[in-house]
Amino acid sequence: MSNKAGFTRNRVILGVIGIGAIIALGLWFTRGGASSSLPMTTVLQGHFAVTTTTVGELAAVNSQPIPAPPGWNNKIISLIDEGSMVATGDELARFDTDRLEKRVEEQQAAYEGALAELEKQRVTNVKNKAQKKATLQRQELSLEKAKLQTESMKFESLSRQRQQELDLRRSELDLQEAEEDLKAQIGIAAAQLTEKEVKVRKARIDLDKSQENLEKMVILAPDSGMVVYNKIWGPSGNRKVRVGDQVWDGTSILELPDLSAFLVNTWVNEVDIHGLALEQVAEITIDAFQDRTLQGKVTRISPLARQEGDDKIKVFDVDILIEGDVSGLLPGMTAQCIILHEEFSDVIHVPLEAVFQEKDGPVVYLQGGKSRAVQLGQEGEDRVIIEDGVKSGDELLLIRPGDEAEAEDKADS
């Protein structure tokens, strides 16, 4: 085929395309500028509410925590089933006691050893005191003998009398030393006995404490109620406690909630937190009771954000107190909450999808495809107030004119 023939064929094709485009454009304008298949909405006038929708879990307002027993890394070997109704004294959990039993045996031996040392010290004290008393008595006798000999030396020579006086003085000093030794021995014996008694008391206290801790390895219900598992941090993150977990002293592993008052533990994304305030009312639906709507109010807003989920979005924890009848509710049930921030009684409002941000500001597109600038008011979760630019009953496009591909995607979805 020659180049000229190819060129002629291309001109024919382009001509056909051009004619088709002119026909399509004509249809656009004859139909009012927009395809009737494009999604549209009607401008409404009336009540408008600014809300935030959240999902959370029910929790009792008042609940008795059940802590792990004293010690570090205590291993749970049995747990009562969650949701069980228990009476006072029922067994809730049991922990591994091997380490504590060994410790009790060691401390029992230490206590018995301390008792033996105390008894040995008592015997030694009695023996030493008796020896010191005997020495004192001997010195008393020696002194009496020296005095008698001194009396009999009156007619002896002066040198012998002097020698006897020295012997008498030596006996007096020996007696004084024996008295002081006996007194010192009594003091030393008392101190040694006190030291051994203190050691015995400490060993007894340690033994009693270990025996008490051993008894605490079995946790009994302090009151009647329903068992709820608490969450703890583990290798896989924050999850409910289970058999095999090793927990630290004082960690709250279970709770016995008071079922007379409930709240919803939920959270709000950081982008929505600015509209939240204490005492705002909420409409609550429990997944288990779809035909039942409860009322509540916001009672706590966390002052600090935290990260939630794999995407690490920042959220603020929120508590919503349920008011009115709470019969049938149980901790852990899923609750849908609609928190009301603000209400308007008679305003123009449209879906957020009907408003487009153009270079010169927000606009809407009328049914004919013509744009119109609008002035926006308060924005809700899926609708926004229009303060100026449209009136009730106007028909608006939900996509920009010409975005048929997007319209098809919306239709498919």
Report the C-alpha gap between 203 and 365 in whole angstroms: 87
Residue 238's pLDDT is 83
pLDDT in tens, 116-135: 999 999 999 999 899 989 98
State how beta strands 313-323 and 289-301 pair: antiparallel
- Whether the per-residue pLDDT at 108 is higher than 60: the answer is yes
pLDDT in tens, 380-404: 999 999 999 999 999 999 998 877 5
Report the C-alpha gap between 220 and 241 in whole angstroms: 17
Q: Tokens standing for 303? A: 């002052």
What letter does residue 158 receive in the DSSP assignment?
Answer: H
pLDDT in tens, 221-241: 999 889 999 988 877 778 899
Report the C-alpha gap between 381 and 100 in whole angstroms: 57
pLDDT in tens, 148-179: 888 888 778 888 888 888 888 898 898 899 89
Q: How far is CA 138 from CA 145, 150, 179, 186, in A?
A: 11, 18, 11, 18
- Whether the per-residue pLDDT at 12 is higher than 50: the answer is no
Q: Are 75 and 96 in contact (CB under 8 A)?
A: yes
pLDDT above 70 covers a percentage of the chain that reads: 89
Domain 31-48+345-412 is found in CATH 3.40.50.150: no
Listed residue (322, 287, 317, 284) closest to 302, CA to CA: 317
Domain 69-95+217-255 is found in CATH 3.40.190.80: no
Residue 412's pLDDT is 56
Domain boundaries, the chain: 31-48+345-412, 69-95+217-255, 98-215
